[in-house]
Amino acid sequence: MWPPPRFFPDARLNFAENVFAFKSPDKIALIGAREGGTEIEKITYGELQKRVEQMASAMRNAGIQKGDRIAAIISNSIVSFVICLATLSIGAIWSSSACDMGASGINDRLIQIRPKIIFADNGALYNRKVISQIDKLKQIMATVDSSLLSNLVIIPRIKTLPSMLDGFAKSITFDDFIKKSTGDPLKYEQVEFNHPAVIVYSSGTTGKPKCIVHHHGV
């Protein structure tokens, strides 16, 4: 259907706010584990909210506003959930690609959304093997729209791999990006019911991948 129907045009809400609504701060919110059940981490709703608050403050101080796109090339983890919720709290739009995708497949997605910040793991663990993302990130950064991109934030998922992308001036470590936080209280931007929240994609098997947008209210 085009144009798509607009539901509840007068409603205002925020998806991230509803994640924390009526939740006990001491209740376990997430359990993270690496391959093989290693590095198990548990986080309560209270701890999760504090991390989201810190990340959202860093993002706002990096210039992120409602409607900006935040992309990630990242494994499922507590960190990825924190970044996603911080993005949504601002009214910015979240999109992620898996670490096992190739550079061209990721590029086909990024060029459509023109992200302002890209978060990327420096590597991944698969079948007990460490797989670096550094060379792939260099390929991606060579073609991404750098006029809008403000930062490539490297997450040190693999401690033995580089935490910066040499030769790319906009590369920053995850720790240095978090230092942009100034302790601002978490603010949930009230957005329209149909305001974009998450961009996912079709498989790309019959042509370029197509964006599929999910909204705060749907």
Grouping H, G, I as helix, E, B as strand and the rest as coil, residue 166 is coil
How much is the pLDDT for 36? 76
pLDDT interval class at 9 (50, 70, 90): very high
Residue 57 belongs to domain spanning: 12-215
* Amino acid 167: pLDDT: 85
Percentage of the chain lying above the pLDDT 90 cut = 81
Reported as a pLDDT band with limits 50, 70 and 90, residue 128 is confident
Whole-model pTM: value is 0.94
| Number of domains the chain is built from | 1
Give residues with Cβ within 8 angstroms of 7, minimum separation 6.
Answer: 193, 194, 217, 218
Q: Is 177 inside any structural domain?
A: yes
> Does 50 map to a domain?
yes
Mean pLDDT confidence for 185-196: 97
For residue 111, the 8-state DSSP code is H
Residue 5 lies in a domain: no
167 vs 54, residue with greater confidence: 54
Which pLDDT score, from 0 to 100, does residue 78 have? 95
pLDDT of residue 206: 83
pLDDT for the residue numbered 132: 95
Q: Considering the domain boundaries, does residue 62 fall inside one?
A: yes
Among 123, 81, 98, which residue's Cα sits nearest to residue 209?
A: 98
The tens digit of pLDDT for each residue in 50-93 reads: 999 999 999 999 999 999 999 999 998 999 999 999 999 999 99
The verdict on residue 1 lying in a domain is: no
Q: What is the pLDDT of residue 18?
A: 96
- pLDDT of 179: 97
76 belongs to a structural domain = yes
40-68 burial by CB neighbour count: b if 16+ within 10 A, else e? eeebbbebbbebbbbbbbbbbebebeeeb
Residue 192 sits in a domain of what CATH number? Answer: 3.40.50.12780
What is the pLDDT, as a whole number, of residue 24? 96
**Residue of 57, 95, 51, 99 whose CA lies nearest to 74:** 99
Q: For residue 144, is pLDDT > 90?
A: no
172-176, long-range: CB < 8 A, 24+ apart:
174/79, 174/119
pLDDT 10s digits, 45-61: 999 999 999 999 999 99
Asked if residue 193 belongs to a domain, the reply is yes
CA 203 to chain centroid: 20
Q: Which of 13-22, 27-36, 60-69 has the lowest mean pLDDT?
A: 27-36
Question: Does a structural domain hold residue 94?
Answer: yes
Rounded mean pLDDT of the chain? 93
